[in-house]
Structure 1
Amino acid sequence: MSEAPGGSVVNRLVDEIRGLVSARGLKVGDPFPTERDLCELLGASRNTVREALVILRAFGLIETRPKSGAVVSDGHAAAVEKLFSFHGDVSAETFRDLQGFRRILETGIGDHLILHATGADLDRLEAINDRILGAGGVAELARADYEFHEALIALSNNGTTLATFRMLRPAVENLMRVGKAARTVEADTHAAHAEIVAALRERDRVAYAYLVGRHLSYGLRFIGPGMPADTI
């Protein structure tokens, strides 16, 4: 399976696996196809299949049960409810769950961005990032931060990935507001975004993945008893 317009190999494999589940009429609790089966049926490498399964588990479409192994799940609704359930306090677990899912999305599109993002695309990203420096107040800062990441994901040209991120907007912006209320870091956020754009201009896959991962993990250092998470 090779890269082609319309999104990363992993994103397309996720769609193919979901189509396979639907075509087979699998229901909640039915055994999920094994990694080996998926490799053979879809002509994909083991590593690519594993990455796709991570995303499907994050969506709540697969769960592992004792003695049954991987089965089709209806955990999507529960996963979304969990993401939207927090308000003022943000635990380390909540932070890791949400930022870990974002990392899957934002690093997963890296290969496509490296290959297809144009200079004009990256100029627009920089312009959106500059809104952070002119934002006033916590809510506006959080909105500008979110909009940079949405614009980044939009460059993947993958409707499913973009729709998923937009679905999470209330949870993502809430996490950002909680963090920025505790410690306003707009200059740091702007600089981190600028480094990500620079890595894309250099067509550096390794730097892009590293910088996105570091950016999304940064806030963990500020989580402690009685202290809300500081996002970036």
Structure 2
Amino acid sequence: MVTSEAGRTEAEAGAAVAHGSAVDRLVAEIRELVARRALGIGDALPRERELGEMFGASRNTVREALTVLRAYGLIETRPKVGAVVADGHGEALRRLFSFHSGLSPDSFRDVQGFRRIVETGIGDMLVLSAGPADCDRLDAVNDRILTAATVAERAAADYAFHEALVDLAGNRTMLATYRLLRPVIEEIMRLGKAARPVQANTHEAHGRIVAALRARDRIAFAYRMSRHLEYGLQFLLNDEEGRRPGPALRPEAP
């Protein structure tokens, strides 16, 4: 059978589009798998063969999908482990918000504004659905900040409390988006964490937020969260003015 050049070109183009769509679909499915299994940075993905069997994809399609994810910094390859969830997006976010040259008040307010939408927005749901056991778990996560020894550990403990709140809402997309911003949020949470009073103030503020959940007080929850999200701005302004916070730090409003 004779096939024209135009016929071959159309057939090849159609195959390429179909293959590209298969790769795109698999990229989306692997990202959903990461979110569904709550895989964190450093956690391994299933092997190529397993991914192919899981999603009915050829080995070439799996490899191309992993290449796309690697190009976006979402995964990396480690010897003897294979593909693992990476933190490449974190560096991109740090550059985006210019943290290497200093966080500005405007950037602070932008990020905290996003967090306010998420973290106060879930209040209506949490005050109705969070039970005593949920509040006990939040208190246990909050207590980690008191034993954290370094600024990085305190920021990580602070973040863990807020992520636990978002997780409690049960919305996977919202949780995945919040986790995407973790490097940026933790940079903000480092503000003032070198001072012990800030560590105690943060723990107390978290405790008040949990107390509002226990009391099923939606207004108190929104107020406590909003005040807490503004707390770090004083340390940023102090740094911009060339001052360091002294022993007498202004606590959050009771």
- With normalisation by structure 1, the TM-score equals 0.60
Percentage identity across paired residues of the two chains: 60
Residues 142-161 of structure 1: pairs in structure 2 closer than 5 A: 142-161=155-174
The structural deviation recorded for 1:127 is: 0.3
Deviations 1:96-133 (A, max 9, x none): 11111111100010111011111101100000000011
Letter in 2 for 1:187: A
- 2:182 aligns with 169
The answer on 1:102 being equivalent to 2:115 is: yes
Letter in 2 for 1:195: R
RMSD value, Cα: 2.5
The alignment partner of 2:100 has SS state of: coil
Matched positions, count: 153
Residue from 202, 205, 227 that aligns with 1:189:
202
Question: After the TM superposition, which segments of 4 or more aligned residues of structure 1 sit over 2 Å from their partners?
Answer: 79-85, 181-184, 224-230
Deviations 1:185-213 (A, max 9, x none): 11000000000000000000000000000
* Greater RCO, 1 or 2 (C-alpha within 8 Å, sep 6+): 1
Matches of 1:228 and 1:111, distance apart in 2: 39
Matches of 1:115 and 1:143, distance apart in 2: 28
The alignment partner of 1:102 has SS state of: helix
The structural deviation recorded for 1:84 is: 4.5
User: Tell me, which stretches of 5 or more residues in structure 2 are unaligned?
Assistant: 1-91, 246-251
Query: Which of 184-193 and 174-183 deviates more?
Result: 174-183
- 2:226 aligns with 213
Matches of 1:212 and 1:114, distance apart in 2: 13
- With normalisation by structure 2, the TM-score equals 0.55
Is the 1:146–1:172 Cα contact (8 Å) retained in structure 2?
yes
Deviations 1:35-87 (A, max 9, x none): xxxxxxxxxxxxxxxxxxxxxxxxxxxxxxxxxxxxxxxxxxxx957654313
The structural deviation recorded for 1:161 is: 1.1
Residue from 138, 143, 149 that aligns with 2:151:
138
The answer on 1:117 being equivalent to 2:117 is: no
Matches of 2:159 and 2:178, distance apart in 1: 10
Is the 1:99–1:216 Cα contact (8 Å) retained in structure 2?
yes
Matches of 2:241 and 2:126, distance apart in 1: 39
